[in-house]
Structure 1
Amino acid sequence: MNEPTVYSRPAAVEVHQPAPLTPVQPVPLMPVQTGSVPAVASVVLPDGRVVTGYAIEPAKPEPAAVRPAVSRTAVNIALGGIGFGAVCCGLVLLTTFIAALAALIHQLIILAAVIFGGWIAVQIFGHGSGGGTTVNIRKAVVKRNRFYS
């Protein structure tokens, strides 16, 4: 792989050896009086530098939420059942209303047929003094499906 070729020469290989890390010596922090936190805290680093900063209060955990006596899931299921029951009753009333409306329309159609049929019967069979043609047949003879007057 590192053999010379016609087109290029192999590059020199560099080997890097890892350098061991020096162990860190823990440095004690400045003593803090019990019950009081100084306004400014200083820390001495291993290399002799001093870092000064304001003390930060530790974050207080939020109080645990009080759990209700009944779970929300149970309440949601109960409310869903009540809503479903109300919808079912409404659907029963709706179907009853539709059936009553269909029966009313059916009765109105029958009433219209009776009234309109009676009006037609009066027009056909009634004795009106309207301008109809009156034919008086006194003597008629029917022979071989022919009518002779």
Structure 2
Amino acid sequence: MYPERTPHVPVQRAVEVHQPTPYPPAVHAPAPVVPVQPVAVPAVASIVLPDGRVVTGYAIEPTRPEPVTAKPAVSRTAVNIALGGGGFLAVCGGLVLLTSFIAALTAFITQLIILAAVIFGGWIAVQLFSASGHQGGGTTVNIRKAVIKRNKFHS
């Protein structure tokens, strides 16, 4: 029912071995030591312990804490917020003035357009009504019956 399977035979391949090439360690020359002379030779102190032994050594100055800087009465953050609010109010006032100026300019231009329309309309009305009542001084054209024969005009 099932075909016979051939067993899997691994293929023999040549094995290549790669060896890493070691790098020589970096040689670091020690940094030259420059002797530093102390500004002043510290004083040698001797202390007598209660049991009679004497300990001699250099006196160590106690470390002094950093002077505490006085904090301002108002924090910088509060000052920055207040200045930002003042600037925002100044900008808002400028924007209100700008919008008022634009509205006034728009109204002025609208009024100029209406005035021009009224004047021009009045001039046209005067021209129309004055032409119908006035009979003299114009060019009169009389139209007669005319006969056109063979592209020639005969009156």
Higher RCO structure, 1 or 2 (CA under 8 Å, sep 6+):
1
TM-score w.r.t. structure 2 length? Answer: 0.44
TM-score w.r.t. structure 1 length? Answer: 0.46
